[in-house]
Structure 1
Amino acid sequence: MKVCVIGTGASGLCAIKHSINYGLEVTAYEQANEIGGTWVYTDDIGKDKYGLDVHSSMYQGLHTNLPKELMHYPEFPFPEQENSYLSAEEVLKYYQSYADSFNLRNYIKFEHHVVRVRPLLNDTWEVIVRDLKRNTFETVNYDAILVCNGHYNTPFIPDYEGRDVFKGKQIHSHDYRCSDPYKDESVLIIGNGPSGRDALLDIQHVAANVTWSHHWKSGSLINNLRNNVTQKPDVLKLSKDGAIFIDGSYQQFSVILYCTGYRYTFPFLSVDCGLMVNDNCVEPLYKHCININRPTLAIIGLPNFICPNQMFDIQARFCLTFISGRRKLPKKEEMLKDLENDKQIQFIERGFSKKKFHLLGVGYHEKYYDSLSEIADIDPIEPVISKMFEKSMSNLHQDFLNFRKEVFKVIDSKSFISTSKQ
């Protein structure tokens, strides 16, 4: 059975490894010249030398917002060291070590861009691939597709009234690399996710002034910032030289940095693949990963606010258990019913909008892992992983200036200890 893996970032690497373990013939395509996906830093923004969108959203000085003790693949821990929160360079070295330990590079075609994936009448898949170095095209048939293209490469920018009249610079965090371009500028930063917080902490040292627009309510999160930082609620609309906020206040800016997240995009999937993206909700998927209409195509890595490598790994094993024929999927009607139950939880119980359908988080992601384990009869994620996630999220919300000082240590499969460095 031939399997195509698209992308060799964190999800793609474990998809390759487990495809091999399941005895499948696997080929992976990577448009860059190395593994690591968004963890590969580049100064480039916009288009690369082949005219493709630059994939990486990595910026200088990035450190993880989760401890290494819960970020590793099962049975492949990060190297021992004092710190729990690692630099991007250390994370990339980990992925390189993982790939080399299992000889995964032998299955990867680098500088190959997947142009199109479409289903054939015999339930196989036609994949058209561009060899970027030679600028040639090849058509290959596969029995299954594992989509691992990541979701931090297509920016989402809110469609504020007045966006088209603002005369200053407008930049998304996807193109943020360092604080140098913001020296002496008046900067509006929109968003309170990891990139928004990190950019704020960098830019406040060089900008004339910074306004941080967010809807984080906890006061403990926003103390001890520099005197040149002003905090505002959400933006209502933009003008030619500033913004009006929902509290009615107004300020002027020379630069707007949108740290407003990303859109799920799969430009290589043909319209007859049986999936659609509607307001960032990808459907119909069984358990956020298997295409209900065509179950030999799966997407690894959609859910967010999760334990990343642990989830990628169990998703890959879950999907391959059914793709390989080791177990049979539920009937289509049962999978659709399960999807409707998930929507009931996300939209009714949790009150989420459609664009947050794939958001899990504390209290939900651990249930999700357990369901994958039970349905496919595969090894579960150890309970200590989710417990550390809850603790690390609590630390971040209480003090985003200092949460990376915490050091975690796993005691056993169910327990851990953590201490704060001074």
Structure 2
Amino acid sequence: MDFLPTLEASWNQKTQQHICIIGSGPSGLAALKIIRDSQQFKGGLWTATAFEARDKVGGIWLPAPPTSNPPSTPLYDSLTTNLPHPVMAYTSFPFPAGTTLFPPASTVLKYFEDYAAHFELNEHIRLNTPVLSITRDHTAGKWTVSVRAPKTSAEETHDFDYVIVANGHYRLPRLPATPGLGEWVEAKRAVHSVYCRNPSTFGDAKTVLVVGGGPSGQDLVTDLLASGRNIVHSVTGAAPENLHDGRLKVRGRIAQYGDLDKGLVTFEDGSEESGIDKAVLATGYKFDFPFFPTSVLRPSIPPPVPPLPGALYNSTYHIFPLARHVFPLVGADEFPSSTVAFLGIPIRVAPLPLLEAQMRAVLHVFEHPESLDPTQEAIDIISRYETLRARVAQQRASSSPTQFPDGVDGPISGPSEDPVELAIAAAWHRFEEHEQFQYRDAMHAFAEYPHRVPAWEIEMYDAKGILREEWRDLERLGQAEEWVRGVGAGEGEKVAEEWVDLMRKLLRRAEERHPERSRL
């Protein structure tokens, strides 16, 4: 009974510490919520301020026209989630009862707005306030954060003890280094998908080349087919195939963009396609942190390891070296590793519950910096590097396509870059199979937080493709709304149970419709 008063009394003898959060998208909101839940915040030991460049919360889920360069979001009109919302939601805040299982972007944006309002996060967010620079004041032992004030456009500076980088990584487009592509881009015959909102982007083009096999590339193909266009879809490793009465031609990786007048491209297998009016490149995004000077974050591929470099690098494919994909593992003369955290860097994950786990680990390190063991973290990073290097070597020896993040179809590098190091960089934050769930459990164990990923989340994540296919069929039949009516209206654990029951019912439907295949 005496613990809290004693703890609070000890806090009052300490200096209040200030946490800066960059962005109020999914990562920034998770950071604020977990901070507000902490005893340190409740006891007045911590304060938190999130700086948001845009006029509302929501990050990439907040729509905007593609007028800026680059656009502030890649959000296209037809986007729906590619995960069922019970799997992707924050564990502390389910989607409303009756929400369609794979909701559109507008529903997801409302979810984030409701999350911010429910947990009283908005009072800690400064909207229309972009971060201009973040530098280390070694004398004061602080981070100096410069922002642009919303009303006066004047530059303000503030000192913080900790910085949480939560600005996302789906804005700065990545273009392949494929020969001839530059001429197509210059002639406005090729454009990155970040500028696409709907098929009207392509004007009167009759044949469109879609490059990239990730979710946005697949959605572009679906939208363009529905608009009556012919599609050539370039996907690394794909076997040539003609579908939809020849309107969709699936082809492999592009080797060269050729004659513009002929609309000609050549593929790595030597085959060609001509008559292409436009090309859209769903080829991924670069990690971009323009507010960090090179003294904090070096813009290049890091040197091979071991040993680990003593500084932090942004290869645009990965941030290295990050302990636990979050904490910069740098030399003591750079800055304390326990004062900076990068949220939401891993890809191919259910992001929101992973963000919660990361943020609990972040606060644990903020409170207990000694818990971050640099020797063990370095061993773990080198071990991952050696594992990925062996995997890349095996792929190259077998002539199988090098694995890059979703949507990135190579070659993705310039001639001066080491393809092995680039492949390692591109795979670094990419979680395979159930690695994300093991990671979440490990982060919670590290944070001494009593939570483990429930088995149903893993089951439904594995079944996400089948669930989405069945859900789309229900939507075509006009039955989807009836299926979710009243689901999730219970309380406590009943909410998740109702959604799990619905998803298992949907999987049984898939088995009945397709008895010839396994559901997973």
TM-score of the aligned structures, taking structure 2 as reference length = 0.74
Change (3 A) 1:210 1:19: same
Q: Distance in 2 between matches of 1:218 and 1:170?
A: 24
When structure 1 is superposed on structure 2, of 141-150 and 328-337 the one drifting more is 328-337
Are the aligned partners of 2:239 and 2:251 in contact in 1 as well (CA < 8 Å)? no
Q: Distance in 1 between matches of 2:68 and 2:370?
A: 44
Cα offsets for 1:33-72 (capped at 9, x unmatched): 000000011123334xxxxx43211010211100001111
Q: Distance in 2 between matches of 1:218 and 1:100?
A: 49
Q: Distance in 2 between matches of 1:394 and 1:300?
A: 30
Change (3 A) 1:87 1:226: farther
Q: Distance in 2 between matches of 1:244 and 1:218?
A: 15
Cα offsets for 1:352-395 (capped at 9, x unmatched): 62212100032211111121122221133333222211111466
Match of 1:50 in 2: none
Alignment pair present for 1:387 and 2:459: yes
Are the aligned partners of 1:65 and 1:404 in contact in 2 as well (CA < 8 Å)? no
Cα offsets for 1:128-182 (capped at 9, x unmatched): 1112442110110100000001111111110110112334521111111011132
* Secondary structure at the counterpart of residue 165 of structure 1: helix
The alpha-carbon deviation at position 331 of structure 1 amounts to: 2.6
Are the aligned partners of 1:211 and 1:230 in contact in 2 as well (CA < 8 Å)? yes
Match of 2:111 in 1: 94
Are the aligned partners of 2:66 and 2:194 in contact in 1 as well (CA < 8 Å)? no
Change (3 A) 1:108 1:256: same
Match of 1:10 in 2: 26
Pick from 259, 278, 281: which aligns with 2:282?
259
Q: Distance in 1 between matches of 2:500 and 2:383?
A: 29
AA partner of residue 250 (structure 2): Q
Are the aligned partners of 2:242 and 2:250 in contact in 1 as well (CA < 8 Å)? no
Match of 2:73 in 1: 56
Identity value in percent: 24
Pick from 70, 81, 92: which aligns with 2:87?
70
- The answer for unaligned runs of 5 or more in structure 2 is 1-16, 297-310, 331-336, 396-402, 404-422, 488-495, 514-520
Pick from 296, 308, 311: which aligns with 2:339?
296
Match of 1:202 in 2: 223
Number of equivalent positions: 413
Cα offsets for 1:101-126 (capped at 9, x unmatched): 01111000000011111122143211
Structure that is richer in strand per residue? 1
Structure that is richer in helix per residue? 2
How is 1:2-401 mapped onto 2 (pairs within 5 angstroms)?
Answer: 2-22=18-38, 23=41, 24-47=46-69, 53-81=70-98, 83-121=100-138, 122-166=140-184, 167-185=187-205, 186-206=207-227, 208-215=229-236, 217=238, 225=244, 227-241=246-260, 242-252=264-274, 253-273=276-296, 274-278=311-315, 280-293=317-330, 294-325=337-368, 328-349=370-391, 353-354=423-424, 355-378=426-449, 379-393=451-465
- The answer for unaligned runs of 5 or more in structure 1 is 48-52
Q: Distance in 1 between matches of 2:51 and 2:216?
A: 28
Are the aligned partners of 2:242 and 2:248 in contact in 1 as well (CA < 8 Å)? no
When structure 1 is superposed on structure 2, of 148-157 and 206-215 the one drifting more is 206-215
Q: Distance in 1 between matches of 2:141 and 2:88?
A: 36
Q: Distance in 2 between matches of 1:275 and 1:55?
A: 26
Change (3 A) 1:54 1:314: same
RMSD of aligned C-alpha atoms?
2.8
The alpha-carbon deviation at position 223 of structure 1 amounts to: 8.4
Q: Highest Rg: 1 or 2?
A: 2
Change (3 A) 1:133 1:207: farther
* Secondary structure at the counterpart of residue 78 of structure 2: coil
Are the aligned partners of 2:238 and 2:250 in contact in 1 as well (CA < 8 Å)? no
Change (3 A) 1:163 1:218: closer
Q: Distance in 1 between matches of 2:498 and 2:73?
A: 35
The alpha-carbon deviation at position 328 of structure 1 amounts to: 3.2
Q: Distance in 1 between matches of 2:314 and 2:244?
A: 39
* Secondary structure at the counterpart of residue 2 of structure 1: strand
Q: Distance in 1 between matches of 2:25 and 2:267?
A: 38
Are the aligned partners of 1:168 and 1:256 in contact in 2 as well (CA < 8 Å)? no
Q: Distance in 2 between matches of 1:2 and 1:256?
A: 47
Are the aligned partners of 2:210 and 2:280 in contact in 1 as well (CA < 8 Å)? yes
Are the aligned partners of 1:184 and 1:206 in contact in 2 as well (CA < 8 Å)? no
AA partner of residue 437 (structure 2): E
Cα offsets for 1:156-213 (capped at 9, x unmatched): 1101101123345211111110111324412110011111111111112335421111
Q: Distance in 2 between matches of 1:117 and 1:224?
A: 51
Are the aligned partners of 1:321 and 1:376 in contact in 2 as well (CA < 8 Å)? yes
Q: Distance in 2 between matches of 1:414 and 1:254?
A: 45
Are the aligned partners of 1:204 and 1:226 in contact in 2 as well (CA < 8 Å)? no
AA partner of residue 214 (structure 1): V
The alpha-carbon deviation at position 218 of structure 1 amounts to: 8.6
When structure 1 is superposed on structure 2, of 350-359 and 33-42 the one drifting more is 350-359
Change (3 A) 1:150 1:371: same
The alpha-carbon deviation at position 348 of structure 1 amounts to: 2.7
Are the aligned partners of 2:23 and 2:167 in contact in 1 as well (CA < 8 Å)? yes
Are the aligned partners of 2:131 and 2:148 in contact in 1 as well (CA < 8 Å)? yes
AA partner of residue 6 (structure 1): I
Are the aligned partners of 1:187 and 1:207 in contact in 2 as well (CA < 8 Å)? no
AA partner of residue 389 (structure 1): Y
Are the aligned partners of 1:307 and 1:385 in contact in 2 as well (CA < 8 Å)? no
Change (3 A) 1:92 1:118: same
The alpha-carbon deviation at position 338 of structure 1 amounts to: 1.6
Change (3 A) 1:216 1:105: farther
Are the aligned partners of 2:238 and 2:252 in contact in 1 as well (CA < 8 Å)? no
